[in-house]
Structure 1
Amino acid sequence: MSLSAMFSAGSRAGAETKLFPRLRDVFLRTWDLGFTSFGGPPVHFQILHRRFVDGMGKTPWIDEQTYQELFAICQALPGPASTKMAFSIAHIHAGFLPALVVFFIWSLPGALGMFGLALGIQRVGEILPDPVYALLSGLNAATVGIIALAAVQLAKKAITDRLTRALVVFGGCAGLCYNALWYFPVLILIGGAATLAWDCWMKTKVQGIKEKMKRRKSEPREVEENISVPVDLADSASTTQRRQTSAPSTHGGSQEEEQNILPAVTMPKHGVPVKWGILIIVGFFVSFITLMVIRGVLKDVPLPLALFNNMYLAGTVIFGGGPVVIPLLREYVVEPGWVSPRDFLLGLALIQAFPGPNFNFAVYLGGLTLSKSSTTLGAVIGFLGIFFPGIALSVGFQSLWSVLRKRRTVVSVLRGIHAAAVGLVFTAVYRLWEIGYLTAAESSGISLAKEPWWLVVAATTYTVVEWYGVAPAAAILGGGVAGLGWWGTVGR
């Protein structure tokens, strides 16, 4: 059975089963993700690829092209990128309700852990013991190594030609130079515009120029001047050859046709109707505008509503996933005085050791914001506010994707978006590196470069995960142990 036939059969079978078997299927394939997905979004994408594209000995849920397209879409839409990716893969495979189950499986374990941290941090003194700072610094250093490895692995898949290689470098370098809400979406759009211009306009012209130069070099000068027929014949022959190559074979179709069919057969049965998708998108923006108007009109906004507004706004304007959410959340909860800088940095360090999405950080911050009234209410508000925008837009745009993905221009734009977004992952390495070292005197975080040992920890983590197959969770915990070892020998 061909690969396309396998996916087609799998899609039909998945569409014909009832809800309970689909729920059981997704639960058995995803129940452990919320407990084992350490390392942040770049590592999460690798985990999702291994499980649902490679299959890990089981039937894949989607193929490589669909995965790459979803990756680009999740980066182009606001919200938690890896969470949207897990949700969208499950939605394609099994439908909306099973995808919602996967979302909670994916996010709740880490969210509950951050809620417990919010309860515990309220009972911690202003100054922590020195070994705790060393432990947190070691966790951060190990996470830097994990994210660096994931960035390299993602880049290998994103780079398909010289242009995408340049866009990965462009995204990484440009992301290091500046940081603003509008900046990262602009970089992603520039990547999409570059591949669109190349694929639909410049590539044809460049290839035409190269072909003319080859013909001039290969043909005698007098033939080139006096005889123009062979050139036309050559063009005609190449056109005929291209047609023959792309024509269906007697064995069920060409490889090119199978590759074009592969992504499409995994999506249509469990998709959201286009009308519903448009309604969801419109409804979301109506809710967003309403909340922002209320925020501007009311002079004394109740703290729970103000917290929800800030989290809802953050979930709407953040592009690029977890690495981008940290500086924005700092602006939204520390500057108003809701959370102290020390508690913010402690939570940032510890969330690297928690599984699941980094957007669970909002649960911790929401709990601390309403700690005087109800930590539980604050945690729930943070969770709903930060996750709802991304999931809603993901469902809405996925309904339109079955139509949009057939357009060559859209596929071309996504290729550039994918490359530029992977480049931005490299900026996460730098930004976490610059605030990863915590001490009693520098509770706001300083560069890990202040102590060479943290570079050793990051490089070792990268090496053992890449070359020796150590699980990322174990490597991150090893970084924490290395931090304690450093304190025991030279830190004190």
Structure 2
Amino acid sequence: MFRAFLRLGVTSFGGPVAHLGFFRDDLVARRRWVDERTYGELVALGQFLPGPASSQVGFALGLGRAGSRGALAAWVAFTLPSALLMVAFAYGAAAVQTTVGAGVVTGLKVVAVAVVAHAVQGMARTLTPDARRASIAVAAALLVLLVPGPVAQVSAIVLGALAGLLWCRSDDASPPPSLGITVSRRTGALALALFTGLLVALPLAAGLTGSRLLDVADGVYRAGALVFGGGHVVLPLLQAEAVGGGWVSAEQFLAGYGAAQALPGPLFAFAAYLGALALPGAAGLLGALVALVAVFLPGFLVLVGVLPFWAAVRTRPAAQSGLRGANAAVVGVLAAALYDPVFVTAVTDGATFGLALLCFVLLTAWRTPPWGVVLVGAAGGVLLGVL
């Protein structure tokens, strides 16, 4: 589990939507750890719950395959590369921007286009096999494109589930495959209680003690608990806490955000950069660790809290119909994200479009592993930058 997710943590560029594409290519299509329906269900849950969607999906996959140790291994391995690089950047170890560096970033953005397109293609084949579910996917995509923001994404999945209840009852009523995740209701209830308790206790503790470390933990935990939609959505909340709280300057915040765009793995690892700068000297390492745990913890607690109760209702016919609609909506949400921000950010001219097509063909026709496509895309971006 650690080895698989460490490779994903090193090669998964492009943000949460692209991460889900990398996960599907490696864990669903190649390793066959879960089937397409189960993966789509986990993606829907991750999109619906607060927290980093791609990391929640990875955490759930680790939990289902290897228990709590597997979940911890999946999170640590996927997050470690970007977190270490962000801490290094905080201590001044970032490389100076060059033409080569800018070209690599361009190429990695293009790779994200190919990966997300491949994921949408594969998920659409399984999760939207008929006209009704294809229509739900299109409607979800239109909603997200016309009403940008995380609220639209959650609304699209909820409306997709409602449409599934109305439209998809005549589909095959075979029970869904087991999630393979065993979490007791007692554990789920404790996780939800801890999630709520920390929201209340951390600001009180920070206010009573005046501790900068607890202040960082409180601000970052609250940002992770209140965000829907993952990486980029958490940044305004983190900016309010970090810049408004005096941890970093506005210039330091923007410099770290720019560096985070070029790194693989979850954008939530940006919190490690803020924690490292919030405390002076070597204490910044502790600040980075606390901030990193605090930003991910609420999303994982909510996920663990919801899973046992979801498992109790997911096999009912009505829930299955709703799931079909929700999974179809997930395809639409991913398709919308493929256009904006992935495509419009990465493809700026004919040359980058051609590189995106090359990467897509490598993934689909030549079945090149994602890490190989990353290397090709990075090299292509450097070549385009030089030319």
Q: Please state if 1:93 is matched with 2:79.
A: no
Q: Is the 8 A contact 1:39 1:143 kept in 2?
A: yes
Query: Identity of counterpart residues, as a percentage?
Result: 28
* Structure 2 counterparts to residues 98-247 of structure 1, below 5 A: 98-120=70-92, 128-199=97-168
Return the letter of the residue paired with 1:283. Answer: L
* Structure 2 counterparts to residues 322-471 of structure 1, below 5 A: 322=231, 324-325=233-234, 329=238, 333=242, 338-340=249-251, 342-351=254-263, 354=264, 356-370=265-279, 374-429=283-338, 430-435=340-345, 448-449=347-348, 451-471=349-369
How many residues were matched structurally?
A: 383
Distance 1:179 1:112, change over 3 A: same
Distance 1:279 1:129, change over 3 A: closer
User: 1:424, 1:317 → 2: CA distance?
Assistant: 20
Q: Is the 8 A contact 2:103 2:381 kept in 1?
A: yes
Give the superposition deviation at 1:384: 0.9
Return the letter of the residue paired with 1:99. Answer: A
Q: Is the 8 A contact 2:150 2:229 kept in 1?
A: no
CA offset digits 1:454-479 (Å, max 9, x no partner):
33332322232222223322323333
Distance 1:63 1:428, change over 3 A: closer
Q: Please state if 1:274 is matched with 2:159.
A: no
Q: Is the 8 A contact 1:310 1:332 kept in 2?
A: yes
Q: Is the 8 A contact 1:149 1:462 kept in 2?
A: yes
Give the superposition deviation at 1:397: 1.5
Return the letter of the residue paired with 1:287. Answer: L
Give the superposition deviation at 1:290: 4.1
User: 2:99, 2:244 → 1: CA distance?
Assistant: 27
Give the superposition deviation at 1:388: 0.5
Distance 1:303 1:150, change over 3 A: farther
Q: Please state if 1:479 is matched with 2:377.
A: yes
Distance 1:453 1:325, change over 3 A: farther
Q: Is the 8 A contact 1:339 1:365 kept in 2?
A: no
Uncovered stretches (5+) of structure 1, i.e. residues with no partner: 1-25, 205-255, 437-447
CA offset digits 1:378-410 (Å, max 9, x no partner):
321331122111111121222223312232222
User: 1:180, 1:84 → 2: CA distance?
Assistant: 19
The residue that corresponds to 1:286 in the other structure is 197
User: 1:35, 1:368 → 2: CA distance?
Assistant: 24
Return the letter of the residue paired with 2:177. Answer: P
Give the superposition deviation at 1:190: 1.8
Distance 1:320 1:465, change over 3 A: same
User: 1:30, 1:142 → 2: CA distance?
Assistant: 19
Distance 1:147 1:331, change over 3 A: farther
Distance 1:124 1:465, change over 3 A: closer
User: 1:435, 1:328 → 2: CA distance?
Assistant: 23
Distance 1:460 1:390, change over 3 A: same
1:182 aligned counterpart, secondary structure: helix
Give the superposition deviation at 1:299: 11
Return the letter of the residue paired with 1:140. Answer: K
User: 1:460, 1:111 → 2: CA distance?
Assistant: 30
2:220 to 305, 311, 315: 311
CA-atom RMSD, angstroms?
Answer: 3.6
User: 1:468, 1:371 → 2: CA distance?
Assistant: 50
Return the letter of the residue paired with 1:349. Answer: Q
Give the superposition deviation at 1:324: 4.5
TM-score, length-scaled by structure 1? 0.66
TM-score, length-scaled by structure 2? 0.81
Give the superposition deviation at 1:95: 2.5
User: 1:461, 1:158 → 2: CA distance?
Assistant: 24
2:315 aligned counterpart, secondary structure: coil
Q: Is the 8 A contact 1:72 1:415 kept in 2?
A: no
Return the letter of the residue paired with 1:483. Answer: G
